[in-house]
Structure 1
Amino acid sequence: MNLHGIVSGVIGAVNPHVPATLQRSNGYATASDGGRTPAYLTSPQTVQVQALSAKEIQHLDGLNISGVLRKVYLNGDWRSVYRPGNQGGDRFQFGTTGVPVNLQGTTWLVVQVLETWPDWCSLAIQLQMS
């Protein structure tokens, strides 16, 4: 049962869903000098951005993750660092249309999976420097 799908309409009336581009890590390209440039597969998403709870902040602090942090809910089963599958480094990029001012033009790194279910997940994201 997709609980996120059931409640997202009601939650969206209070805290609107916003468009974002999920940049899923797809390895890297190595330059002739040995430098690496990350590569991404992009997909449009509609996400619910919320503040972290005190317990979630405490958990991330215990992992030595700090900075500007938020939580996103979205459909699908996404991951942060997943070493067995050689995955990680996924990012969210917010545009300038239909997005709150504090998110416009920003990029956020997925730093922790908070909840994962077959149909939806919640992820902790950290603001990245431009």
Structure 2
Amino acid sequence: MNLHGLVRGAITTVNPDIPAQMMVSTGQYTTDAAGHRTPSYSTQDVTLQLQPLSYTDLMKVDGLNLQGVIKSAYVNGNFEGVNRPNQKGGDYLLIPSKNEKWLITQPLEEWPDWCKFVVTLQVNT
């Protein structure tokens, strides 16, 4: 049962959903002539909620030495953050309407229908 889906309507009246794209690392990369690697991603359209980190979220990520702009992101779907045994990680959330790129830094909750991540705003180059 997707309990988050039940309350999502009430949440979106205060904080509207944001259309975004989840860039999931494929684990593959291309190498240019200079030896620089460029990772490849599969892209999926998602809707998300960006919210400030709660006190308990801050306690969970204490010690990760995160700097910059960090928030929590609620995303419909089943995605993972860093999963070293399965060689997964380095995924991003793109918000085209704001020209923002967020790195998924730490998964906080993973459910079959939705997930919650700590995300860190990346500098566009």
Q: Same fold (TM over 0.5)?
A: yes
Tell me if structure 2 keeps the 8 A contact 1:50–1:71.
yes
5 Å-filtered alignment, 1:27-106, equals 27=27, 28-96=29-97, 104-106=98-100
Establish whether residue 121 from structure 1 lines up as the match of residue 122 from structure 2.
Answer: no
Alpha carbon RMSD of aligned pairs, Å? 1.2
Alpha-carbon distance between aligned partners in 1 of 2:48 and 2:10, rounded to the nearest angstrom: 14
TM-score (structure 1 length as normaliser):
0.88
Alpha-carbon distance between aligned partners in 1 of 2:67 and 2:58, rounded to the nearest angstrom: 9
Q: What is the match of residue 14 of structure 1? A: 14
> 1:48-89 deviations in whole A, cap 9, x for unaligned?
111101232233231212210011111122111111211100
Q: What is the match of residue 26 of structure 2? A: 26
Alpha-carbon distance between aligned partners in 1 of 2:68 and 2:85, rounded to the nearest angstrom: 27
Question: What percentage of residue pairs aligned between the two structures are identical?
Answer: 45
Alpha-carbon distance between aligned partners in 2 of 1:37 and 1:31, rounded to the nearest angstrom: 8
Unaligned runs of 5+ in 1: 97-103
Q: What is the match of residue 110 of structure 1? A: 104
TM-score (structure 2 length as normaliser):
0.92
Alpha-carbon distance between aligned partners in 1 of 2:69 and 2:59, rounded to the nearest angstrom: 14
Tell me if structure 2 keeps the 8 A contact 1:60–1:66.
no
Q: How many pairs align? A: 123
